[in-house]
Amino acid sequence: RFHTQVCNNLHVIFLQKIGARSPQLQRLSYSDIYHPWSATALQQVVEKLLNTFQMCGPASSSVSRVMTLIHLLAQSYSHRMWPDLPLTTAGTFINFIQTYLKVFSKLQRDVTKEEER
């Protein structure tokens, strides 16, 4: 019974190049192909997250453009240095944005405290 539950609920993720697919694996599994995000898509993600944080205006578009370029540069570098390691993923990009928002929020609170004094 335990074995059946494990077999029915087991999820394994294989990261492989599209050309390296094996027919045996395809018959026994479901394949979901993820493509890299375009620069436009990356910038839209940043803008959406910045807008939910109430950071609007011209600074928001500049920050989103810079964050997109930083990610694309890091992605290019990591693919050149370590082509088989997925170091710059959509998840790491979102973590980068969230880290920026945490630092921005802390600095904004500090400035507000200083202004109140």
Q: What is the full per-residue pLDDT of the chain (117 aa) written as tens digits?
A: 777 777 777 766 666 666 666 777 777 776 666 677 899 999 999 988 888 777 656 678 888 999 999 999 999 999 899 988 888 888 889 999 999 999 988 998 999 999 988
pLDDT for 55: 64
Distance CA 107, CA 94 (A): 20
Question: 0.75 cut: is pTM over it?
Answer: no
Burial status of residue 49 (CB atoms within 10 A of its CB: 0-12, 13-18, 19 or more):
middle
The two tokens of residue 82 are: 């370590």
